[in-house]
Structure 1
C-alpha cells in the first residue's frame, strides 16, 4: 500500500499529510479485505467454473483466423503445467488460486481443441466426375426429401474408387455419406458392401463470411463429403465383418421398420424417432410445425426422454420389489431400482444412436445414481459441471455446436432456477391450503418450461434466427402427455417386440402422438408463432453465455449483474451491421438487402441452403431481383443491378460480362458474376476472386466506402478449411520401400 501511495505522490507532485496517507491505506485495506471475503465466500463454487473456462479456451481457438503452430501448443502446455504447479505450491493465496485456475483452464481448453483438430486425417481430394465406388455400410437411415419421397442415406467406410487412376489406391480414411435414389431396389444393411456409380461433393463452404461452417463439422465428424447415387446400387451381403456398432445399427433399422409397419404415417415416424432415434423419417412440414410451436426438442432424443425412461423403470422396479416382504424389509430397494434404471437408460441411449445431448444426460444420470447410493444430493450443478467437462475433453469441438450449447444452457437454468425457488415451492407443497398444494404441483412443469425455454431462446436466435413465443403454452400440454402416456406405451412396445405383439402398445402410443402433432399444428398457426430475427453473432452468443453462467453459477445477490450481458446479447443483432450484398461461394447466386427483404438472382430458383443461411443471418424474407425496374435501393436492367448508397453505388453484374459507361457512373464497387471485367479505377470482385476466397459480403456504411469481407479472410488457414474449389489431399498410395 505504501508503494501505491508513493507512486501517487510522484505522479501528481502533491505531498499528502501523514494522516491522509494513513486513511488511504486503511480504506484500501478495508476494500481489499471486503473483496477477499466476498471471493472466499464463493470458493465452494470455483470448481463449477472449470467447464466454462475450458469452453472459453476452446472457443477462442475456433474463433482464430490463423492456425497456431506446434510451438504455440507447447507454450499452452507449459502454461497448464505452470498453473498446476503454482496451485500446488502457493495454493493458499486467493489471487494464486483464481489466477492459476483461470489461466490454466483456458489454456487447457485451447490445447484440447488444437490436439483434437490435428488428430483428424486430412480431407481427401474427391473426383469431380461420375465414378464407381465400393464401401462398407456402417449405418443406414431413411431420409424424407422436400418433395415427400423417401431415400436411404448410407454412411460408408473403407471407400475405394474403381475407375481410371483411382484403381489400386488405398481406401479413404474418412467416411462418406451416400444418398440412394428413391426408387432403389436394394435396401442395404450395416455390414454390407455397396457398389454404386455416384457423383461426389466435398463439404460445403460457408454461404457467407462468418456463417455456419459445414467443413469444420465434417472435419471433426470424420466425413470426407457426400455422394449421390446415379443408378441403382448393388448390395453384397456378408462381404465384410460386422462390428458391434454395425450390429446395433442393424437392430435400430429393424426396430424402426417394425414400428413404422405397425404404426404407419406421421405417428409411426415420430414413434420411430423417439424410440430408436430415426429422426430422418419425419417429413419437413411436420418438423417445421414442431419447431414453430417450440416442441422441436420432443423430436430429439435428449435429457427429457432419458429422464422419462429411467423414471418409469425405477418406479416399476421399486414397486415390484415392494411386493416381496423380504425385499422390502432387508434389501436396498431404492438403490437397486436406481441401478436398473441407469442400465435401462444406457440401453436407450445406445439404441437411439448415442447423440451428444443423450450422452450428457446419461453421464449426469450416472452421477445421480452414485449420489443416491452414497446418500448425497441427486441433482446438482457439480454433476452438470463434471458431465460437460468430460464431454469437452472427449470432443472440444462441441463447444461451438448447437446440441451441447442448448443442452448445457437448459439444464443449468433448470438447476439454478429450482435451487432459487425451492424454499417457496417447498412452503406451498406443505401448506394446509389445498389450492396452494395444487399450485405447487402445477408450478413445476410451468417453471421447467419457462426456465429451459428462456435459456434456449438466445441460442435459437444464434443458430436459427427465429423465436417461438408460444413455447410455454405448447410445452405445458405436450411434455406431460409425453411423460405419462407416450413414453410408457413406447417402453411397453419394446417389451412386446420379442413376442411380435408391439402393435398392442404402439396403437395407444400413436393416439398420444397424434394429439401432440395436432397441438403442434394448432400452436404453429397462432399469430406470431414464428418470428424471424437477425441471428446473434458469435460474440453476442459468448456474451450471453457469460451472463448466464454468472447468473447460475455465482451465489447470493452478486449473481444479479449477470442479467446485463444477457440483455446486451439479446439486443446485439440490431447493433451489428448487416451486409448490403452477398455472393454465394460458387458465384452462382447473389443477394441484395432491400428493406425487409433479400432479393436474389439470377434466375427464379435460388439455392435453398444458401438462401436459408442468408435469411438466418439477416432475419429478412426472401424475394427475387426484378428483371427491369426498381425496388427500394435496387434498380435492375438487362442482367445488371445497382445498389444505391449515400456516397456511391455497388454494381452487380448477373449476366453481363462488361459494364457500360452508364453503369460505371458513381460506382464504388463492381461484383461481376459472369466475368472479371469491371469499371475503370473501380475495385472489382470477379468469379476468380470468389473461387479463391469463397463467399463475399459487402457492407456499405454511411460514412463512405464499401467494406468487403471474404470467407477465407474470416476463417483463415485452418486444418478444416479446404483449398479453393474444395480440393483436398490426393489419395495416393504409400511409396514402396527399397
Structure 2
C-alpha cells in the first residue's frame, strides 16, 4: 500500500545519460547543499556594502516573495527549491543589511570647539595611562541628549574613578569618527555607524562624577573584575589576565600587544572558542563531579545533561561579561548547538552548526562580515572542521588499547595540525587587513595554547569564583605566572629574525577569490572541491598583481608619501598622525619610511628635491608629479601631470591638483602614474554616497561647498 502512494522520484531535465552521470555526484554532495544558502546570504550583504550609493528601499522587498517561492518549490522539488533559495538568500542578505543601516540613529555632529559634556557612564576602560569612559545619551552644554554614544579619554592624573551607572560631567573636545587613512583602507566611520559610536575625544579638565542610576549588571561586574585583577597583578600580566576574563584589551602596553601580534599569539587576547571551551569545559566537569558526590542527586538526576546545560549557562554569562564580540558570539552559538546535540545524542561539531552560527551572526550584525574578527574566526573554524573531517579516517586509532607513546604522538600531531589549519585559514585575511605574516606562529602556539588552556584560564575561572570571598589572590597569582610565561614566549618569538614580515596586502578582489576558494574546498566532499585550490592561490598572489599608488595624501594634508624604488618617502608636517603613517606602511607592505630630503636626490634620481619642491619622475613614458613645498605653482603646473601640496594651490593650473582644499572636501587621495596618464582616487569617490560617509564639508557661513571650488 505504501508503494502505491509513494511520491515518484524527481525527473531531471535533459538527457537520461546526463542525469545518470550527475546522480552519484549529487548523492554525495546533497547533505551539504543547504550550506550554500549561508554563503549566498553573505554574498548579498557584500553586494549591498559594495554599492556606490544607497539602493532604493523598494529593492529590499524583493526578498520576501523570493523566499516564499523557494519554500513553495522546495516542498515539491527540493533541488528547484534550493536553486531558487540561493538568490532568495542573497536577496535576504541584501535586505537585512539595508534595513539594519536604515535603523541606525543619525550621525552625531559634535561641537567644533570644547564644551561641557554630561552623560551616563556605560563602560570604563583602563588604559596604560589613565582611563577612557563611554557615555550614553550625552549632552553638549545645554543641548538635548544625543542618540549615539561618545568616548572620552580622561586626563592621566585625574583622580576621578567613575563606574558604570554613574553620571559624568567633563569639559572635553569631541570629534566625529575619522574616515579611512587612504582610499580603500579600513572605514572607521562605517564601523562607528553600526556600533552606535558618535564621536570620541579627550578631557580638557578634571571629571566630575555624579550619582546615577543602577549600573548595568555586566558592565559593573566587568569593571569590578578588572580592578580586582589589577590590584593583585599590576602591569602587563594583570592587563592580559583582565583581557582574558573580561575581553578588554585597552590596558595592555603597546609593546606587549606588538609582541603578541608578531608572534602569532594575538588571537589569545580575543576571547573566542579557546576561552569559552575552557570556561564551559571546566564548569561541566566540576559541576558533574560535585553532583556525583551527592548520592541522592546522582541517583535521581541525569548528571551529564544537567552539567551540560549549566555549563552552557556559564558560557552565556561569560559571553555577556566579555561584551558579546563576534568571535565569542560565534563560539557561544556553536556551544549551544553542541549542547543540544549532546542532549540528543548527535555529533557536536559540524559544518551545519557553523553555518547556522554564521547565519545568526550575520542576521544580527550584517556589518560584521566586513571585519577581520568575523572573517578570521569563521575561517579558522571552517578549516578545522573540514580539515579534521578529512584527517580523522586517515589517522591511527587512539582507543583504550593504544600505547601511551601513540597517544602522545597523536596529541602532539593534533596540536600542530590544529595550529597549521587555523593559521593557514586566517593568513589571507591577516594579509588583507594587516599586511603582516607571522612566520613562527605554529611554534609559539604550540607552547602558549596549552599554557592558556591548562593553567591560565582554569586559574582565571577559579579566581572569578573566589572574588566574592576576597580570596582571588590565591588563584590570580598562578594565573599571572602563566600569563608571564605566555608573554615571555611572545617576546622571544617576536624577536627572532623575520618573525613578522611586512608584505603587500592582498586587495579586496583577491581576498574574495581566496575566501570563495576556501569555502568551495571545505564545503564539498568529492574531488571537484579541489577546484578551490587555484582560487586560493590566485587570491594569495593577488598582492603582486595589484599596483600600489605612487603618491598618497592624508586627509589633513600633513602627510604626503611618494613611492619610488621600492621605498616610501614621506613629508611629515607638524601635527601629523602616527596612525595614518602606520596604516600607510601596513597597506603598502613597507617596513619603514624615509624622510624626503630637503635638497638632493633619492631612489636613484627618481625623486629630486629642492627647497621649494620635490619632483617624482618615474621614467620614460610615465607622467611626472610635483610636490610643492613653497615653490610657486606656475612651473610645476606647466611641467607635471599632477601637483600635490599641503597648502591650497590657487589660480589656474593645467595639471591635476591635489591640495589642502581637495583633501578637506574629499578625504585622503591616492595617485597612480600610469602610461595612459594620471589616475587620482579620493576617499569620497571610492566610498560613494553612503549614510556613514559625511557630506561634503562647507566653510562657515556658506550654504554649500560649491563657492569654495570657485575660489580655487
Fold shared, TM-score > 0.5 on shorter chain: yes
Is 1:712 matched up with 2:691?
Answer: no
- Matched residue, 2:601: 630
**Which deviations, in whole Å up to 9, do the C-alpha atoms of 1:155-194 show, x marking residues without a partner?**
11111111xxxx3x32111111111111111111112121
Task: Give the alignment's TM-score, normalised by structure 2.
Answer: 0.92
- Matched residue, 2:84: 100
- Matched residue, 1:114: 98
**Which deviations, in whole Å up to 9, do the C-alpha atoms of 1:595-626 show, x marking residues without a partner?**
23221114377421111221222101322111
What is the distance in 2 between the residues matched to 1:278 and 1:174? 21
The structure, 1 or 2, with the larger RCO (C-alpha pairs under 8 Å, 6+ apart) is 1
Cα–Cα, structure 1 residues 726 and 560, in superposed 2: closer, same or farther, change >3 Å? farther
- Matched residue, 2:696: 724
- Matched residue, 1:188: 162
Is 1:552 matched up with 2:552?
Answer: no
Aligned length: 684
What is the distance in 1 between the residues matched to 2:184 and 2:317? 39
What is the distance in 2 between the residues matched to 1:389 and 1:441? 33
Is 1:257 matched up with 2:227?
Answer: yes
Structure 2: unaligned runs, 5 residues or longer: 1-12, 701-712
CA RMSD for the aligned pairs? 2.2
| 2:124 partner SS | strand
Paired residue for 1:57, among 32, 36, 44? 44
- Matched residue, 1:592: 562
Equivalent residue runs for 1:251-650 within 5 Å: 251-325=221-295, 327-425=297-395, 427-429=397-399, 432=402, 434-603=404-573, 606-620=576-590, 621-632=592-603, 633-645=606-618, 646-650=620-624
Cα–Cα, structure 1 residues 604 and 230, in superposed 2: closer, same or farther, change >3 Å? closer
What is the distance in 2 between the residues matched to 1:250 and 1:654? 54
- Matched residue, 2:625: 651
**Does the Cα contact within 8 Å between 1:583 and 1:589 map onto a contact in 2?**
yes
Is 1:241 matched up with 2:213?
Answer: yes
**Which deviations, in whole Å up to 9, do the C-alpha atoms of 1:217-267 show, x marking residues without a partner?**
00001111112111111111x2x3235xx2321221121111111112221
- Matched residue, 2:672: 699
What is the distance in 1 between the residues matched to 2:469 and 2:71? 60
What is the distance in 2 between the residues matched to 1:680 and 1:266? 55
What is the distance in 1 between the residues matched to 2:208 and 2:77? 69
Cα–Cα, structure 1 residues 443 and 602, in superposed 2: closer, same or farther, change >3 Å? closer
- Matched residue, 1:174: 148
What is the distance in 1 between the residues matched to 2:349 and 2:501? 35
- Matched residue, 2:194: 220
Cα–Cα, structure 1 residues 424 and 430, in superposed 2: closer, same or farther, change >3 Å? farther
Cα–Cα, structure 1 residues 388 and 727, in superposed 2: closer, same or farther, change >3 Å? farther
Cα–Cα, structure 1 residues 680 and 172, in superposed 2: closer, same or farther, change >3 Å? closer
Task: Give the alignment's TM-score, normalised by structure 1.
Answer: 0.89
**Does the Cα contact within 8 Å between 1:678 and 1:684 map onto a contact in 2?**
no
**Which deviations, in whole Å up to 9, do the C-alpha atoms of 1:294-346 show, x marking residues without a partner?**
00011111111000111111111222333345555553221111112111111
Is 1:230 matched up with 2:204?
Answer: yes
Cα–Cα, structure 1 residues 433 and 90, in superposed 2: closer, same or farther, change >3 Å? closer
What is the distance in 2 between the residues matched to 1:567 and 1:625? 37
What is the distance in 2 between the residues matched to 1:320 and 1:542? 49
Paired residue for 1:127, among 104, 111, 124? 111
Cα–Cα, structure 1 residues 108 and 604, in superposed 2: closer, same or farther, change >3 Å? same
Residue 40 (structure 1) shift = 4.5
Paired residue for 1:688, among 621, 643, 661? 661
Residue 575 (structure 1) shift = 0.3
Paired residue for 1:202, among 176, 192, 206? 176
Paired residue for 1:47, among 1, 9, 34? 34
Paired residue for 2:135, among 156, 160, 164? 156
What is the distance in 2 between the residues matched to 1:430 and 1:666? 81
| 2:162 partner SS | coil
| 2:138 partner SS | strand
What is the distance in 2 between the residues matched to 1:727 and 1:72? 36
Residue 527 (structure 1) shift = 1.4
Structure 1: unaligned runs, 5 residues or longer: 1-25, 145-149, 729-738
Residue 594 (structure 1) shift = 2.1
* Greater displacement, 405-414 / 313-322: 313-322
**Does the Cα contact within 8 Å between 1:137 and 1:189 map onto a contact in 2?**
yes
What is the distance in 1 between the residues matched to 2:436 and 2:599? 33
**Which deviations, in whole Å up to 9, do the C-alpha atoms of 1:424-458 show, x marking residues without a partner?**
33535567555333211222211111111111111
**Does the Cα contact within 8 Å between 1:202 and 1:726 map onto a contact in 2?**
no
- Matched residue, 1:72: 59
| 1:720 partner SS | coil
- Matched residue, 1:7: none
What is the distance in 2 between the residues matched to 1:248 and 1:327? 32
What is the distance in 2 between the residues matched to 1:300 and 1:27? 52
What is the distance in 1 between the residues matched to 2:631 and 2:97? 45
